Each structure stands twice: as C-alpha cells, then as structure tokens.
Amino acid sequence: MYPVQPPRDIAIVGAGFAGVAAAVAISQELGPFVPDLKIRVFERAEYPSTSGGAVNLTPKAQQHLAHLGVMDELDRMGTYGGADVDAIQVFSMTSAHPIGSFDFTDRTSNSYGGYKGRRVMRVVLLTAMISVAERAKVEFVYGRKVTGGKEIDEKAIINFEDGSECSADLVLGCDGVHSPTRTKWVDPERRSEYSGMSFLQTTVDTKKLSSRLPFDSAVHLSRHGSLITTYCDRDREQIFAAAIVQFTEEDLDYYRLKPGQDWSTRHCIRMSLRRSLQRRFRKSAEPCVKEIVHSDQEWILYPVYQIRPGGRWCSNRVALLGDAAHTMPPIYSTASYALDDAILFSRVLARYRSAPLTTMFKTYDQLRRNTVDRAFAESNTIWKRMKDRGPMEEFVKEWKMSSYLRHWQSKREEEWMSDAAKIPIPTPTPEPSEIAVTSETLVST
C-alpha cells in the first residue's frame, strides 16, 4: 500500500530506562519484519549510570518489564533483584499516626497480573535491562555526547562533541529532562524547569541500626517535606531513604556536589545537607527513622525538574521518549512512563512500518499524549502537598492525603490493568498523495 521502506538503522540517544527499553521493545516488535535491523544506543557517559536511588516498580511496571524479558533477569540476581512490597504505608512524622496506604494488592490481597510492588536499586534494574538488550544484539556506544543534529534527504544526522557524526533512518531522543536532542534539535524553545522540590537520598546498612523499620516501605509526612524509607533488597539488609524537601533554585548552587570541588568544599556540602535534613525531621516519632536521620550517612541532593506539557515530540525522523518528551515529578513509579512509551512506540512503529515516519509519529502522539498530560497534572497536585507548611496547614495536608489515598485506591486497578502492549492501534491508511501515486501507477500500467 505504501511505497515506503521501514527504518533499518535506528539510533537511540541515552542509555537510561527509556532508551534501553525502547531498544529492546523495537527489537522485539520490528525485528521480525526487518531481518537486518540495526539498533545503536549512544550514551554520553563512559559507562552505564550508577546514580539515583531505589526505583518503585508498580504491578504495571513489572508487567512491562516481564514483557521485555527483564523480570527473569532481575530474579536471577537474587537478593539484589529487589524487595517485594505489598503496600507503601503513609504516616505522620511527628505522631507516627497512620494516615493510609498505597496498596499493591486488591481488596482480597491478590496481586495485579501476578505482581505486587517491588523496590530495586536503579543501577541494578538498568544493568538487568542492558543485559537483555545486549542479548538482542543491541549495540551500546559510550562516551558520545550529542551536540545537535539535522535531517538530510532520507537520513537523520547526529552530531557529537568529539566532532564525529552518525546517520540513521530513525533517531530516538531518550536523553532525559535536559535532553540535547530536544533542546538542540526537535524543540529548542522547550526547556526544563526546576520544580522547587528536591530529593535527598542515601542507603543505610541495617546492621548499623539498633532498630528496624516497622514496615517494608513507608512515607512519613511532616511540615517540612516527606521522608521515604524502604527496604531495597530481598534479604532486607539495605534501607533506601529519600527525603522530598523544598529548596530554592538559589540553594541548589550551595548544596549540590559538582565535579572539580576540593575535599573541603565537598565535606562542607555534605555536612550542610545532613544538618538541613535533621532540622526538618528531628521530631520523628518512629525510632528507626529518627536513627537514620541522625546517623552519619552521606546524603546526596537530586533536584527534581519538569517539562511543561504541550511541546513537540518529533520532527520528520526524530522522536522523543521518556523524560526527554515529558518529565514530571515522579509519582508511584519513575520507570512506568518510560516503559509505557517504549512499548507503545515500538508497537506503533511495527504496525506502521510501511508508512511514512511522520504518519507513525502522529498516531503515537494521538494514543499517548492525553495520558501523559493527565499524569503531569496529577503529579503536580501531589507534589504541591510536599512543600513546607505551617502547623494548621500540616493538619489539612494530612487530611487531604488521607482523602486522596482513598480516591487513589478506587482508580488504581483501572490504571494498573491497562497495558501498553495491548492498547488497540488503528489500521494504517494511505495519505491522499500516496493514493494519487498509486492511482497514476495503475492507469499507466
């Protein structure tokens, strides 16, 4: 029907969740139709990223990972493959009073699609995903920082900082919230913005603590932010702790560790972060949480950025996925939306393999954008409740959170049972110009 060849050479910028998931998903979906398919992933760092903390995997995220073949890889990692979580309990920091919970089971304690929740360190999950991708013959190229790109004839050309370039039939920008693919190519006007909130993260060896967490995973709410505590390994030997706190953009320059800083500067920053954390959460009523807050752990600051909805996701031969397209403050699972993107995009790409890429991009946008926009609005509503408040505002915040949790319980099943691998994709129809070409060909024949 279409006089168009499917893309055979695909370049992916960014070896994070979105980029690696896209590589695996495209290999699975498009590979059977394109035997000589070539997929390359370009990463600016010299090796896979080890930054970040523990990732919360919802039942839907695990279904996606199982679809990609990653859950089996995680299970082979033993205790490092993550800790199963039935629910995230929510408490008042100062009274330890229970407010509610994010449950990963239904009302009869059954899992969703065979999965509950799971906490796993980001580096472990990424390692598992890369292992699956490498078995699928995906090529990884490290130390290649993108500086821009252009489209010439039927090719997209990526320019790298070292002066080299590469061409591909299709380029996917999966290079995060500050994406050079977006800011220097697809949509230069759409910049990331600081949300006003940051994570302070650390990992604690349970052997160093005299008390244990009363729950496998919990969120402790206070006037000055929230603190997440969760086991992140199957043997419950490591606790991941993450404070969600308010910092001004000016504070970031003072509190953030940067390359080239001397030991004294870095030490002062670490001590300042620790003191800031202790001021915020010193009145914790939970012994284990209080012990973690007042320990000598090193806390690392991760500012939370976002990209407002409404921008471009693609040009003629380039598309943005994951945080490069739609970064939002994380809710439930930081990995779910990247996995959704990758699986749905690969399915549309395979279905529209003989259609122009612009047609394929339009279809993907129509299937995906409304869901992402709704998630952005919801995430911002939740994160506004994390900002510093007075005593009376804190009471209202806890009351609203309790109400929200009840509301969330009623909608979670619908969300988690939705599957990017099963969303109906419309049948491709030829463009008017292509129908005309076909008609002319028939007449001349």
Summarize pLDDT for 105-134 with one digit per residue, the tens: 777 777 777 888 899 999 999 999 999 999
pLDDT at position 240:
93
Whether residue 149 is predicted with pLDDT greater than 50 in this model: the reply is yes
Q: What is the pLDDT of residue 344?
A: 96
> Mean pLDDT of all residues in the chain?
86
Q: Above 50 in pLDDT, residue 434?
A: no
> Mean pLDDT, to the nearest integer, of 218-235?
89
Stretch 412-422: mean pLDDT, rounded?
71
More confident residue, 125 or 411: 125
Which one has a higher pLDDT value, 102 or 180? 180
Q: How confident is the model at residue 392 (pLDDT cuts 50, 70, 90)?
A: low
Q: Which residues contact 128 (CB under 8 A, 6 or more apart)?
A: 70, 73, 74, 77, 81
Mean pLDDT, residues 419-423: 82
Instruction: Work out the percent of the chain whose per-residue pLDDT is above 90.
Output: 49
pLDDT the model gives residue 92 = 86
Phi-psi region of 286 (alpha: psi -120 to 50; beta: other; left: phi over 0): beta
Candidates 1.10.3720.10, 2.40.220.10, 3.50.50.60, 3.40.50.2300; CATH matching 9-78+122-193+306-387 = 3.50.50.60
CA dihedral 213, 221, 224, 230 (to 10 degrees): 30
Checking if the pLDDT of 233 tops 70, the result is yes
Report the helix count and the strand count for the chain, using DSSP H and E: 13, 18
Judged by DSSP in three states, 80 sits in helix
Measured CA distances, 171 to 224, 261, 292 (Å): 43, 36, 44
Is the pLDDT at 143 greater than 90? The verdict is: yes
Which residue did the predictor score with more confidence, 1 or 425? 425
pLDDT(445) > 50 = no
pLDDT tens digits, residue range 319-348? Answer: 999 999 998 877 656 678 899 999 999 999
**Confidence grade of residue 440 (pLDDT, cut at 50, 70, 90):** very low
pLDDT band at 95 (very low <50, low <70, confident <90, very high): confident
> Would you state the pLDDT for residue 12?
98
Query: Is the pLDDT reported for residue 367 higher than 80?
Result: yes
In this structure, of 58-67, 124-133, 268-277, 323-332, the range with the lowest mean pLDDT score is: 323-332
CA pair distance 415, 40, nearest whole angstrom: 32
pLDDT band at residue 439 using 50, 70 and 90 as cut-offs: very low
Confidence of residue 284 (pLDDT cuts 50, 70, 90): confident
Q: What angle do CA 194, 364, 148 make, to 5 degrees?
A: 55
**What pTM was estimated for this model as a whole?**
0.90
